[in-house]
Amino acid sequence: MARLLIALAGLMGAAGVALAAASAHGTDASRLGPASAMLLFHATAILACVALLARGLLHGGIGLVAAFGFVIGAALFAGDLTLRQYAGHSLFPFAAPTGGTIMILSWLVVTLAAVVAAR
């Protein structure tokens, strides 16, 4: 699971940098900046979760839920904004807010994983 999460974080990081470049060089690319930021921030959060899991500082199962939540949430959020930018329509209704909510919940799950691991 750790290798899969690291690979997904790498893909998210690459996509985040690509979207940042597109945002900087494109005209009216206002949606791409937030999409880039969410991918980059949460790619780093995934790597941190993997490292904390390896050190036993997060509960294993709960920490994995948080890490995969970051993947799913950021993909939904960034995917929806990117699709709106380039295709002119959303991924599905409320995809970006759903992704954002999943990311918020995943941060709370990280908190839970840390508290449970401390016992």
CA-wise closest residue to 7 among 65, 51, 46, 40: 46
Q: Supply the pLDDT for residue 106.
A: 98
Residue 59 reports pLDDT greater than 80: yes
Q: Supply the pLDDT for residue 28.
A: 85
Q: Supply the pLDDT for residue 51.
A: 98
On whether the CB atoms of residues 53 and 10 are closer than 8 A, the answer is no
> Can you tell me the distance from the alpha carbon of 85 to that of 78, in angstroms, rounded to the nearest whole number?
10
> Can you tell me the distance from the alpha carbon of 27 to that of 23, in angstroms, rounded to the nearest whole number?
8
Read off the DSSP letter of residue 10.
H
Residue 6 reports pLDDT greater than 90: yes
> Can you tell me the distance from the alpha carbon of 39 to that of 33, in angstroms, rounded to the nearest whole number?
10
Q: Residue 46: is it exposed, middle or buried by C-beta count within 10 angstroms (0-12/13-18/19+)?
A: buried
The mean pLDDT value for 23-51 works out to 95
pLDDT tens column, 76-103: 999 999 999 999 999 999 999 999 999 9
The mean pLDDT value for 66-75 works out to 98
Q: Which of 11-20, 63-72, 110-119 has the lowest mean pLDDT?
A: 110-119
pTM, two decimal places: 0.95
